[in-house]
Structure 1
């Protein structure tokens, strides 16, 4: 692909991401959460034994940044910590009922956003786009040392 098309593709990804951020921040103004914090909660709820160490790895973020975000989620009542039954030295992160309600709201908002983006596409085009985006996303994937 030539440089002009690569730049255009990069801009489109950037602009879509910015637009999603804008919509998300408007929709979630009442719960005071960022998109990244929502993603953290999604990761926590997706795994029974999510530790801070695993979260740092999955997000590819500095420990201090993740610690601050977790503290804010705990302080706001969306996440709590409990001692791991597998390793008494570590704590496991869990999403509270209030946090689960926020995630349900997030799913509805995400569906609305995706519908807006996809309304211009025919069904076949939408499926093709999903396949292509999965292919691009998977090219960034690296082996997860926490999966066996």
Structure 2
């Protein structure tokens, strides 16, 4: 039996990703923050002073992409970049006062959005979803 377009799990995951991204995009728009940029900010609100390499690793993004996003965040006045004392080739990202204040507004929005997305889903179901998604990622990451 051949699968129909809507039967592919990758299509269902993609549709869910688009829905989530579009919704968070509209919620972040008033704060001049794109969803991808918000990922960097979330990590910095958790631990200020990460390097661009650390961010790239945590986000599973290439360094060029992270550097571009960091440059945009710097232009918006949310972060500053400075050379690391430990490694002069490495740039560390620090929140500005404006960036810290932004977190006070955006973190509650992210938490509320997480609550909306997880409404009616048990902790056990969330753990199972995470386990399944990790398995899928592992399957894709395996050498062909």
TM-score computed with the length of structure 1 as normaliser: 0.71
Q: Which of 91, 109, 127 matches 1:131?
A: 127
Give the Cα separation in 2 of the matches to 1:56 and 1:135: 23
Distance 1:25 1:44, change over 3 A: same
Say yes or no: does 1:96 pair with 2:96: yes
Equivalence for 2:40:
40
Which structure 2 segments of 5+ residues have no match? 139-144
On the 8 A contact 2:48/2:95 being kept in 1, the answer is no
Give the Cα separation in 2 of the matches to 1:107 and 1:128: 25
Which structure 1 segments of 5+ residues have no match? 142-148
CA displacement 1:17-57 (0-9 Å, x = unmatched)? 21222222212222222111110122233335511122223
SS in 1 for 2:82: strand
Give aligned pairs, total: 135
Q: Residues 35-114 of structure 1: matches in 2 within 5 Å?
A: 35-114=35-114
CA RMSD of aligned residues (A): 2.8
Distance 1:41 1:118, change over 3 A: closer
TM-score computed with the length of structure 2 as normaliser: 0.72
